[in-house]
Amino acid sequence: MLKIFGFSYNPNINIYKPCVYKKEGNLNCCLKQLGKDTISFTSRSKNTDNTPVAVARNYCADTKKLQCKERTISGALANKVFQKAQQDTKYLKSTLNKVLLPLFDKKQSNYDVERPVVDIEYRTKSANSIREKATQKHLYTKESVIENIHDLVGARIILGSNQKGCADKVIDKLIDCVKQSKLRIVEVENHVPNDSKHLYASQKMLHKLARAASDKYGVLVPEYITRRETGYMGIHLLVKFPDGITGEIQILGHDVAVFKELEDIPYKILQGKSVKKQYNTIKGVFEPMLPISDNPDDIENIERIKLKKEFILYTTAAYKHEREKVYNQKSKNSIPKFLTIDEFSQESKKKLHLTPDLDFNYLYKLKMLADKNA
């Protein structure tokens, strides 16, 4: 029995076997609800013949809200978990910065397949957020919090090039990390768009990463194909640390990452999830899309559903718009320009009922104002 990265490993055991893979055209026959949240980086620190296999699923987050603030873990316990997670964040930062250094463009002007990485962002879930999530999940011990909250640590690898093969370079480096016992990947998830054109990496490449992790530790690493109705695209990897804490590594393009930070707000609102109080103004903008009763046949509800579907189509087009952008270092600190409702209307050749306050460029201004005043 060997000790690898703090874990017991028996080299004679290899229980790796592939999950069921559903091609894009058959996704609907194997879609299931995803019961976990993904990392938000609003608060962050910078700096063979094997067939690819995966389980397909759609993303429909729980409509969780903080119901009872009295029954939760103590602030002291939450802070202990935070301190442990902070150490893991430091380790992850040190590891990824070192292994991905060759993929950075030092001149920050010519991102391509050989040097596609713009930046890596890191964040540790705050003690207050840990308390809130623990309450939502009915977790009351340190052990249960660590076992059931999978976004205590986060890293986001941001790509500057939209060329195919860029994410493959990153994944190759992560495979080396796994083989050298520097990272333990425990789940591989590919958020796919409606077409293969906008994929960051092939399922075959992600399967290679999952298999390397499975073979290394003798434990099956599940693979998932996930499709959000909003059209979000990105690669999410769960990583387990020796102290039991689980974190998430995301791989996505710079412009998609910027847009995702904005789009996450209306996504949560429309899913019935809570958002920060500072975003109540944005929440009010989406009031006309929220159901007013449980009766699906209510005429008012039908109109609200139609409006919501229009906004989701607009969101999907906006994600593709960001994915196709060529990253420009000069625009890094400037105000981003998202797909407008008028542009979407012209492209889709549809008469829309979306009002100007639902335009992502206007929503971005509301978010910036809210963040400034918070």
Q: What are phi and psi of 38, to 5 degrees?
A: -115, 160
Query: Residue 297's pLDDT is what?
Result: 81
Contact 331, 108 (CB under 8 A): no
> Chain-centre distance of CA 364, in angstroms?
19
Query: Residue 327's pLDDT is what?
Result: 80
Contacts of 277 (CB under 8 A, 6+ apart): none
> What is d(CA 133, CA 73) in angstroms, rounded to the nearest whole number?
10
Q: Are 216 and 345 in a shared domain? A: no
Q: Are 249 and 264 in a shared domain? A: no
Query: Residue 70's pLDDT is what?
Result: 55
Contact 61, 90 (CB under 8 A): no
- What DSSP character marks residue 45? B
In Å, how far are 23, 168, 218 from 204, measured between CA atoms? 12, 10, 20
> What is d(CA 57, CA 28) in angstroms, rounded to the nearest whole number?
8
**Is residue 6 one of the residues assigned to a domain?**
no
**Is residue 124 one of the residues assigned to a domain?**
yes
Q: Are 119 and 142 in a shared domain? A: yes
Q: Are 283 and 249 in a shared domain? A: no
Query: Residue 351's pLDDT is what?
Result: 86
Structure pTM? Answer: 0.81
Query: Residue 38's pLDDT is what?
Result: 57
Contacts of 266 (CB under 8 A, 6+ apart): 282, 286, 311, 315, 363
State the DSSP string of 195-240.
Answer: SGGG-SS-HHHHHHHHHHHHHHHTS---EEEEE-TT---EEEEEEE
Q: Are 128 and 155 in a shared domain? A: yes
C-beta neighbour count of 350 within 10 angstroms: 11
Domain boundary among 222, 254, 286: 254
Amino acid in position 236: H
Kindly report the CATH number assigned to the domain that includes residue 26: 3.30.460.10
| Residue 316, domain extent | 260-373
Which two tokens mark 94?
Answer: 């040190």
Q: Are 245 and 291 in a shared domain? A: no
Q: Are 278 and 367 in a shared domain? A: yes
**Is residue 1 one of the residues assigned to a domain?**
no
Contact 115, 105 (CB under 8 A): yes
Query: Residue 371's pLDDT is what?
Result: 95
> What is d(CA 163, CA 161) in angstroms, rounded to the nearest whole number?
5
**Is residue 316 one of the residues assigned to a domain?**
yes
State the burial class of residue 250 (Cβ atoms within 10 Å of its Cβ: 0-12, 13-18, 19+): buried
Q: Are 141 and 95 in a shared domain? A: yes
Q: Are 180 and 204 in a shared domain? A: yes
Domain boundary among 228, 254, 280: 254
Amino acid in position 264: D
Chunked mean pLDDT (size 10), the chain, 374 residues: 36 37 32 47 48 52 44 89 97 96 78 86 94 90 94 94 87 96 96 86 93 95 92 96 97 95 95 90 95 83 93 96 83 85 93 94 97 91
Q: Are 265 and 247 in a shared domain? A: no
Total structural domains in the chain? 2
**Is residue 323 one of the residues assigned to a domain?**
yes
Contact 52, 203 (CB under 8 A): yes
**Is residue 197 one of the residues assigned to a domain?**
yes
> What is d(CA 341, CA 241) in angstroms, rounded to the nearest whole number?
44
Q: Are 177 and 271 in a shared domain? A: no
Domain boundary among 238, 254, 270: 254
**Is residue 4 one of the residues assigned to a domain?**
no
> What is d(CA 319, CA 329) in angstroms, rounded to the nearest whole number?
20
**Is residue 129 one of the residues assigned to a domain?**
yes
Q: Are 216 and 96 in a shared domain? A: yes
